[in-house]
Structure 1
Amino acid sequence: MAKVKYYYDSDTLSYRRIAPKKGKNILTFILFLLASFLFGTLGLIVLLNTSLVNTPKELSQARELKNYELQFQLLNKKMAQIEDVLANIEERDNNIYRLYFEADPIPAEQRNAGFGGVNRYKDLEGFQNSELIINTTQRLEKLQKRMVIQSKSLDEITDLAEVKAELLASIPAIQPVRNKDLKRMASGYGWRSDPFTKVRKFHYGMDFTSPRGTPIYATGDGEVIRADNRATGYGNHIRIDHGFGYKTIYAHLSKYKVKKGQKVKRGDIIGYVGSTGRSQAPHLHYEVWKDKQRINPINFYYGSLSAAEFEALLKAASQENQSLD
């Protein structure tokens, strides 16, 4: 309510009301509006430059930032799950796969090594959530590196498995004459009496007595490198190169079923029992070579004999009797 002003009239000896001027009232109102506008504008500027009031754009950006933080948190949880799975694979890789295939384990320091040298994350610095972004990026890159190392390790294991499978198929592992076709195991590896001179000498193979024409089997995968009678004492004989330093010899055959250069598989019939060359009776003389040294064939029948059959064969082979060649 506007303040009423009075003045003293000496003629009438009384107080008379002063009537306000219209122009002055308008001016006062205008000044009030101007002051209000200026004060409001100044207040708005101050508020906009503080954290008390945000513009719609800033509110939208804040919501997006909050969403990004949530997405990074979810990403870190997923990476934690992947790291657990990868750690399990790495453990099996070192303690089972690489151990089985005789490969050196990959050290944890190599699997978990970071990236040295220059600062790779300089462009990510200086932001409100730089620490979160940098830590997540580092974690992701380490995870990628571990996966690359593990992938290369599995590639190596695959190659080793292929070689191992080839090795297992190539090693002589069965008896060259089946048990049901044997009359007896005539002579084993070791010192024996020569059938012709009766002198005690070292016998470098095993003699299997069987009827003439009994099938003879390749004891491992390989390639026939000889099938002839040009070796002294062996008569008709076959030599197979199995790779990995292994060779086998099958001597005194009656006839061949393979020829030089032919690839054979374990269990293939390669010839038939005979008594050619320096032989006293129909039998197969069988030798196993490893790295150019003749070794005892008794250790290479695990693929065709039971425990009881092997024990009986071992007992017969250990007797110092007379060889047949």
Structure 2
Amino acid sequence: MSKVKYYYDPDTLSYRKIELKKSRRYRNIFLFILGSALFGFLGLIFLLNTNILNTPRELSLAREVKNYELRFELLNRKLEQIEEVLANIEDRDNNIYRLYFEANPIPEEQRRAGFGGVNRYKSLEGFNNSEMIIATTKRLDVIQKQMVIQSRSLDEITKLAADKEKLLAAIPAIQPVNNENLTRMASGYGWRSDPFTKARKMHWGMDFTAPKGVPIYATGDGTVSRADNRASGYGKHIRIEHGYGYMSLYAHLSNYNVKRGQKVKRGDLIGFIGSTGRSEAPHLHYEVWKDGDRINPINFYYGSLTAEEFENMLKYANQENQSLD
């Protein structure tokens, strides 16, 4: 029941009842409803922008966001570990593997270069955690690029290693006649007395004296390019192309055990000691060629001689005696 209101009338010196007009009453009601609605709207806006009141859905979403933030933190820790491991691999790659195989190291700026041009992270902008998401995505992209570069580098190293292995197998590296079959190491590379003219003449190889028929072995992997007696002075001889600019020659043979075009491995039996061609006695005349020039074979016996045996060979090879061819 609404209260009855009165006012004092000074003319009659009495209290009179206040009679509200209907229009004013309706206006008051309207203003009350409008004020209540406005207050309620402002209160709703306030509540929606604070944590005082959250719906179950909002609470669930807030928990998911916290969970994702934790996962991103754990992911970044793992990324740090991956970066450390990758940095260690890159360091060994540049300072051990590539150095050993004489390959240029990969510059640091090339390994860690970013991605220029179009903003590839534009779709990740505009969110509450955009900065964190973009930073993590950039780290992942850089790591992925580093791994691609490292993978290509290891592919290159693998190829270089295979080539190095082929090179080491191809270089003439053993004595062509076994020590137990040698009578002596007759003559070395250098100026020697010619056995026929007695004049001082350049001797382009090494002479190994042994009985006729003693086996001769290939000193490195390669392909037989010649096995004939059509070269002046060499008699029956064999030439093996090793690749990488190397060629070895075996002269004055009594017989062949290989033919032209045949592939041989280091240590394969290729022929037998003889005295064909311009030769004074049964022996093997052995030469090593590099890029078309004859070089001293004394430097190519590291695969078969001990230090003492090599020292003895060096002493006899340096004697300016008479050669056998």
Shorter-chain-normalised TM-score: which range?
0.7 to 0.9
**1:260 matched to which residue of 2?**
260
**1:165 matched to which residue of 2?**
165
**1:21 matched to which residue of 2?**
none
**1:45 matched to which residue of 2?**
44
| AA of the residue aligned to 1:186 | A
How far the C-alpha of 1:39 sits from its partner, in A, is 9.7
**2:82 matched to which residue of 1?**
82
Q: Does 1:179 pair with 2:179? A: yes
Provide Cα deviations, 1:68-102, integer angstroms capped at 9, x if missing partner: 11111111111111111111110111111111111
| AA of the residue aligned to 2:212 | R
Find the aligned partners of 1:45 and 1:117 in 2 and give their Cα distance. 46
**2:94 matched to which residue of 1?**
94
Contact 1:224 / 1:258 at 8 angstroms: preserved in 2?
A: yes
**1:67 matched to which residue of 2?**
67
**Residue identity (%):** 72
How far the C-alpha of 1:118 sits from its partner, in A, is 2.2
Aligned length: 297
Provide Cα deviations, 1:256-291, integer angstroms capped at 9, x if missing partner: 000001110000000000000000000000000000
Find the aligned partners of 1:189 and 1:183 in 2 and give their Cα distance. 18
**2:189 matched to which residue of 1?**
189
Find the aligned partners of 1:42 and 1:81 in 2 and give their Cα distance. 52
**2:134 matched to which residue of 1?**
134
Q: Residues 192 and 129 (structure 1 numbering): CA distance in 2 closer, same or farther, change over 3 Å?
A: same
How far the C-alpha of 1:47 sits from its partner, in A, is 4.6
Q: Does 1:248 pair with 2:238? A: no
Find the aligned partners of 2:43 and 2:215 in 1 and give their Cα distance. 107
How far the C-alpha of 1:255 sits from its partner, in A, is 0.4
Find the aligned partners of 1:232 and 1:39 in 2 and give their Cα distance. 118
How far the C-alpha of 1:49 sits from its partner, in A, is 2.3
Is the partner of 1:284 in helix, strand or coil? strand
**2:212 matched to which residue of 1?**
212
Find the aligned partners of 2:175 and 2:95 in 1 and give their Cα distance. 34
Q: Does 1:107 pair with 2:107? A: yes
**2:9 matched to which residue of 1?**
none
Find the aligned partners of 2:135 and 2:263 in 1 and give their Cα distance. 59
Question: Considering only aligned residues, what root-mean-square deviation do their CA atoms show, in Å?
Answer: 2.2
**1:30 matched to which residue of 2?**
none
Find the aligned partners of 1:188 and 1:215 in 2 and give their Cα distance. 20
Q: Which runs of 5+ in 1 are unaligned?
A: 4-33
How far the C-alpha of 1:241 sits from its partner, in A, is 0.4
Provide Cα deviations, 1:190-248, integer angstroms capped at 9, x if missing partner: 00000000000100000000011100000000000100000000000000000111000
Is the partner of 1:167 in helix, strand or coil? helix
Is the partner of 1:275 in helix, strand or coil? coil
| AA of the residue aligned to 1:252 | H
Contact 1:47 / 1:53 at 8 angstroms: preserved in 2?
A: no
Contact 1:189 / 1:206 at 8 angstroms: preserved in 2?
A: yes
How far the C-alpha of 1:116 sits from its partner, in A, is 1.3
TM-score normalised by length of structure 1: 0.87
Q: Which runs of 5+ in 2 are unaligned?
A: 4-32
Provide Cα deviations, 1:124-175, integer angstroms capped at 9, x if missing partner: 1111011100100111100000000000000001111111111111000000
How far the C-alpha of 1:42 sits from its partner, in A, is 5.2
Is the partner of 1:270 in helix, strand or coil? strand
| AA of the residue aligned to 1:320 | E
Is the partner of 2:211 in helix, strand or coil? coil
| AA of the residue aligned to 2:198 | K
How far the C-alpha of 1:50 sits from its partner, in A, is 2.5
Find the aligned partners of 2:107 and 2:67 in 1 and give their Cα distance. 39
Of stretches 119-128 and 276-285 in structure 1, the one that deviates more from structure 2 is 119-128
| AA of the residue aligned to 1:285 | H
**1:22 matched to which residue of 2?**
none
Of stretches 116-125 and 277-286 in structure 1, the one that deviates more from structure 2 is 116-125
Is the partner of 2:177 in helix, strand or coil? coil
What does 1:309-320 align with in structure 2 at a 5 Å threshold? 309-320=309-320
Of stretches 38-47 and 308-317 in structure 1, the one that deviates more from structure 2 is 38-47
**1:203 matched to which residue of 2?**
203
How far the C-alpha of 1:323 sits from its partner, in A, is 0.2
**2:239 matched to which residue of 1?**
239
**1:290 matched to which residue of 2?**
290
Find the aligned partners of 2:224 and 2:41 in 1 and give their Cα distance. 102
Of stretches 199-208 and 40-49 in structure 1, the one that deviates more from structure 2 is 40-49
